[in-house]
Structure 1
Amino acid sequence: MGSSFGNIFKIHTYGESHGVALGVVIDGCPAGLAIDESFIQSELDRRKPGQSKITTQRKEADEFEIVSGVFEGKSTGTPISIIIRNGDQRSKDYSHIADKFRPSHADYTFQAKYGIRDYRGGGRSSARETVARVAAGAIAKLLLKHYGISCDAYVSQVGSLKLEKSYTELDLSEAENNIVRCPDSSLAEQMIALIDETRKNRDTIGGIITGVIKGTPAGLGEPVFDKLHAELGKAMLSINAVKGFEYGSGFEGVKLNGSDHNDAFYKEEEQIKTKTNLSGGIQGGISNGEDIYFNVAFKPVATIMQDQESINEAGEKVTVSGKGRHDPCVVPRAVPIVEAMSALVIADYLLISRSNRL
C-alpha cells in the first residue's frame, strides 16, 4: 500500500534504511530502450550519502544490480527489477529510541497506523528509500532522452539565502560544479558556509529546489483529476521532508492582474508558442510545449544532534538525544530525487499519449 507510483510507466519500491537492501520494480518500460548502466550509476552517485562535508557521513557505494527486464543492454518490455544492497548500517545508533517518539519524525504515526515500526533509521519512512526512485528515474530519463526531453534541478535557496535569478538566466550545468548544487558559484559558497555552520551548531536547515523540464510536447496530461501539475505535485510531495510545491508563477502570481498574468499565444513557423510563461508550461492540466518549471520546499531535517523533550510508547516524558549520521541540509542530495520524480511523471504521461513501443 502506497509503495507504487505511475500508471503505464509504473514503479514499485521496497526495502528499509537498515534492511538487507532496497530496490524497485519498473513495469511498462517500452522494449528496445538502450539501458546505460554507467548513467544509472552516475545518478545514484549524485544522491548517495558521504559525498561531502555538508551531507551525512554514512558510507554507501549504492551500487545496483539489474536482475530482470534487460537483455543484451536493452529493455525487453517485461518488468525491470533493480536491487541496491545496504552496506554501512549502524542499527545500534537507534537502539536508544526503540520505544521513543522523535519530534517531527514518523515514529508515532507509523506506530499508530501499524502497531509496529522499524525504529532503525525510520525503516520504510527513511529518505534512504529514495535511492530506488533515483534508479527508476534514471531509466525514465533515458526514455525521455529518446524524445528530446530533459529534467534538471538545482538548489535555489538554503535558509534565507535565495537565488534571485530565473532559471532562464542560468547555466544549469554549473550546478554540478559545487557540493551544494547551486548554479551560481558565489551564492553556492555562501550556502555551503551556512550549512556547515548549522552542522557545527548541531542543527539543521531547509531549502528550495527548482526543477526545469524542457522539450515536453504539447498535450501531456489529463483533465480534471489527473492534471499534469497535480501529478507533479503529488510526486514532489511524496519525497521525504517536502513541505511545499508551486509551479509557474506559483504564489507570486496572486500579486498580478489577469492582464499581466495571461500568456499570449503566437505562431513561429509551424509551432504555437507563448510570449511569456507564467503558466509554467501547463494550462488546463495539460502541457502546452513551453518549459515546465517549479519549486519544491524542503523543511529542516528532523533529526538534530541536540536533546529534545518527547514521550515514549508508554506516554512517559523522555529526552530524545540525537545520534547517528544525518544530513544538516537535505537539498544538495535531493536534487537528483526531484529530477527522478519529474522524469517518472513525464515518462508516464508520454506513454499514455503514445504507443508502448519506441
Structure 2
Amino acid sequence: MNGNRFGRLFQVTTFGESHGEAMGCTVSGCPAGLELSEEDIQADLDRRKPGQSMITTSRGEPDDVSIKSGIQDGYTTGTPIGLVIQNKDARSGKYEPFITAPRPSHGDFTYSAKFGTRNWGGGGRSSARETVNWVAAGAIAKKLLAREGIELKAHVNQIDDIEAPEVSFDQIKAHSEENDVRCAHPETAERMQERIAEYQEEGDSIGGSIYFEARGVPVGLGAPRFDSLSARLGQAMMAVPATTAFEFGLGREAREWTGKERNDDWEFDGESNPTPVENDHGGIQGGISSGEPIYGEVTLHAPTSIPKSQQTADWETGELKEEQVIGRHDPVLPPRGVPVVEAMLALTLVDFMLLSGRLNPDRVDDRPGEYDTDYHPSNPNNE
C-alpha cells in the first residue's frame, strides 16, 4: 500500500494501525544540529491524545513518544529520526460485527474492496489515530520553523452553526488552549461546548472547522502549478481524516467579490520593497508565498462512529442488518484536530523552506561550541 510518505526533502513515512502494537514514523531530511528531546514532541502529542476532556473519546492512550534514532547527545545527527508511540488501550472485540459489514461512511468497504483485506480493529490504518504520527513529526518541523522566525497556530472557529468572531493571531496564541474546545473566543467556546453536549446526549455527532495562520513566512516559497504552495498545502489538509473542504485567504467568500474588491493594492515598505496593502490573498499569490501571513480554514465533517443504530450490508451473508457502533469515539473532531492541522501546516512549510534553500539541508548549528561545524577531514586543525 502506497501513500504513507509526505514531503519532498523533509520526508515523513508513517506506520501503524489503530489497534496494532504501536504507531510510529521515520523523519528523513531533518538537518543535523537541532536540539531535540522527547519532551519537545510530547507537548504537541498531549494536545492531540484521547481522553483529555468530556468531549473527546475516553480511550486511555498516554501517547508517550520514544525517539529511537537520529539523536546524539540531545541533537539531531542528520540521519533518519525514528519515533514510536505504543498503543496501550486497544479493544478490538467491539469491532467484530463489522468484519464483513462495513460501518456507514467509514473506509471499511473501500479498503476491503481495494486490498482484499484490512485490519478491522478500530479501523486499522484508516483510523484517525494514525495522525499521532503526523503530530510527532510536525513538532520537529515547528521547532525548525521557529528558528527561522516562523510561528503558526490554529483554533476551532466553528462547531455546527456556532461561529466564533474574528480574533487576532495573538488572541489565538493566548486563548486557544484555555478551553476544551480550543476556540480562542471564550464566550463562543462555552456555547460550542454546550452544543456538543447536546449531540452527545442524543447519541450523535457534529462537524466544525479549524482556522490556521502562519506568520513570518518569507517571500518565494512554492513553485508554479502542481508544486504551488496552495496546491501542496491543500494536499496536506485534505489528507486530514474527515476533511471535506480546504480554503485559504477569502476562500469560498471569494465567489462573492468582484476583481476590484479582491485585488490587493501595492505599496512600498520601509525598505522600498513592494508589499500588498491588504491580505485577501491569504499570503499566497500565483502559488508562491507573498511574505504576508498565510491563513485559511479546514472543514471537518461529523465523526462517523456514533452510538445510534444504523443500517449496513453484510457482504458475506448477503443480508441487510442494523448495527450499533459500540466503542469510545469523539462526538466532534476539530478540538483534537487543531494540533493535526498545525502539524500539516508546519510539515508543508518546512519542506518548502528546504526546497528553497532557506534552510541548510545539512545542519542548523544549534549545537554548543564544542561541536566545531567548520571541521573538515582535509583540514582537521581548521588552519
TM-score of the alignment, normalized to the shorter chain, above 0.5 = yes
Pairing partner for 1:329 from 324, 327, 332: 332
1:251-330 alignment to 2 at 5 Å? 251-270=252-271, 271-314=273-316, 315-330=318-333
Residues 241, 209 of structure 1: CA spacing in aligned structure 2 closer, same or farther, 3 A cutoff?
same
Residues 346, 323 of structure 1: CA spacing in aligned structure 2 closer, same or farther, 3 A cutoff?
same
Is 1:231 paired with 2:235?
Answer: no
Q: Secondary structure at the match of 1:17?
A: coil
Aligned position for 1:20: 21
Aligned position for 1:56: 57
Q: Distance in 1 between matches of 2:105 and 2:77?
A: 43
Aligned position for 2:352: 349
**CA RMSD in angstroms, aligned pairs only:** 1.1
Residues 253, 168 of structure 1: CA spacing in aligned structure 2 closer, same or farther, 3 A cutoff?
farther
Which amino acid is 2:32 matched to?
A
1:1-358 alignment to 2 at 5 Å? 1-167=2-168, 170-270=171-271, 271-314=273-316, 315-354=318-357, 355-356=360-361, 357-358=363-364
Residues 81, 4 of structure 1: CA spacing in aligned structure 2 closer, same or farther, 3 A cutoff?
same
Which amino acid is 1:30 matched to?
P
Q: Secondary structure at the match of 1:18?
A: coil
> Structure 2-normalised TM-score?
0.92
**TM-superposed deviation, 1:172:** 3.3
- Contact kept, 8 Å, 2:155 with 2:172, in 1: the verdict is no
Q: Distance in 2 between matches of 1:278 and 1:74?
A: 40
Q: Distance in 2 between matches of 1:60 and 1:214?
A: 33
Q: Secondary structure at the match of 2:121?
A: coil
Q: Secondary structure at the match of 1:121?
A: helix
Residues 171, 137 of structure 1: CA spacing in aligned structure 2 closer, same or farther, 3 A cutoff?
closer
Q: Secondary structure at the match of 1:310?
A: strand
Which deviates more, 90-99 or 231-240?
Answer: 90-99
Q: Distance in 1 between matches of 2:114 and 2:168?
A: 41
**TM-superposed deviation, 1:112:** 0.6
Tell me, which stretches of 5 or more residues in structure 1 are unaligned?
Answer: none
Q: Distance in 1 between matches of 2:120 and 2:230?
A: 34
Tell me, which stretches of 5 or more residues in structure 2 are unaligned?
Answer: 365-383
Q: How many residues align?
A: 358
Which amino acid is 2:150 matched to?
I
**TM-superposed deviation, 1:263:** 1.1
Which amino acid is 1:243 matched to?
T
- Contact kept, 8 Å, 2:38 with 2:65, in 1: the verdict is no
Residues 148, 243 of structure 1: CA spacing in aligned structure 2 closer, same or farther, 3 A cutoff?
same
What does the per-residue CA deviation read over 1:228-283, in whole Å, with 9 as the maximum and x for residues that have no partner? 01111100100110100000011101111111111112222125421110100000
Which amino acid is 1:173 matched to?
A
Q: Who wins on radius of gyration, i.e. which is larger?
A: 2
What does the per-residue CA deviation read over 1:4-28, in whole Å, with 9 as the maximum and x for residues that have no partner? 0000001000000000000010000
Q: Secondary structure at the match of 1:320?
A: strand
Q: Distance in 1 between matches of 2:131 and 2:243?
A: 13
Which amino acid is 1:295 matched to?
E
- Contact kept, 8 Å, 2:217 with 2:293, in 1: the verdict is yes
What does the per-residue CA deviation read over 1:87-135, in whole Å, with 9 as the maximum and x for residues that have no partner? 0011112112222111100000001100001111100000000000000
Which amino acid is 1:317 matched to?
L
- Contact kept, 8 Å, 2:309 with 2:325, in 1: the verdict is yes
Residues 339, 168 of structure 1: CA spacing in aligned structure 2 closer, same or farther, 3 A cutoff?
closer
- Contact kept, 8 Å, 2:38 with 2:66, in 1: the verdict is no
Q: Distance in 2 between matches of 1:206 and 1:3?
A: 26
Q: Distance in 2 between matches of 1:6 and 1:272?
A: 31
Which amino acid is 1:282 matched to?
I
Residues 43, 197 of structure 1: CA spacing in aligned structure 2 closer, same or farther, 3 A cutoff?
same
Q: Distance in 2 between matches of 1:16 and 1:95?
A: 16
Q: Distance in 1 between matches of 2:38 and 2:86?
A: 16
